[in-house]
Copies of this chain bind each other. A is one copy, B any other.
Amino acid sequence: MRVSAQDTAQAVLDVVPAVMRTIRTEMRTHRGCDINVPQFRTLGYLNRYSGVSLSQLAEHIGLTLPSMSKLVDGLVARKLVSRQVYTGDRRRVTLALTARGRASLASSLEYTEAYLAERLAALSDTDRATIVQAMQLLDPIFRSEREVEAKPAPQTNDAS
């Protein structure tokens, strides 16, 4: 099957923004899930890689350091994330989810997933498998540049 990279790019460019806007609008609309997409991604990343530094986080999420700092500020203020000075190098900071953060992530994830799942339920198993496979193909291509080999946290303190 001949599918050029350009055809693929065009398809991605056509569809991804529409999907994204649906996700964003849905997150904004849902009351009690008071979290936006970058915040959601931040919680998700910290869930996977507890104890990373601010720089690592910013690199992955794709924000500048000041923006990331501000975003984290908000999450710390809401006690969803803990931020501690790293004892080994006092310039660095160690970020982790609190219990509340985990709960908030689970709730957002559940809600947004449920919303998407509702729409995806219209498809056949085979079609869904195709989508999952496509996501798995896209993932490394668009994440690799940022994903850090995130050393597991020296400690997963939970200041909830």
Contact = CB atoms under 8 A, between A and B. Distances in A.
Given A8-B117, A13-B112, A17-B41, 20 more contacts: A1-B125, A3-B129, A3-B132, A5-B120, A5-B123, A7-B132, A8-B123, A8-B132, A9-B112, A9-B114, A9-B116, A9-B120, A11-B136, A12-B135, A15-B138, A15-B139, A15-B143, A16-B23, A21-B61, A130-B134
A109 B8 contact: no
Contact of A131 (B12, B20, B143): B12
A149 interface: no
A120 B8 CA distance: 8
Interface of A: 1-23, 25, 37, 41, 44, 61-62, 109, 112-123, 125-139, 141-143, 146
Contacts of A130: 130, 133-134, 137
Interface of A: prevailing SS: helix
A113 B3 contact: no
Contacts of A127: 137
A13 B116 contact: yes
Contact of A19 (B16, B25, B118): B16
30 contacts: A1-B129, A3-B129, A5-B116, A5-B121, A6-B113, A6-B114, A8-B117, A8-B123, A8-B131, A8-B132, A9-B117, A10-B109, A12-B19, A12-B120, A12-B131, A13-B109, A13-B112, A14-B44, A17-B23, A18-B142, A20-B20, A22-B62, A22-B142, A25-B62, A122-B141, A130-B133, A131-B137, A131-B138, A133-B134, A134-B134
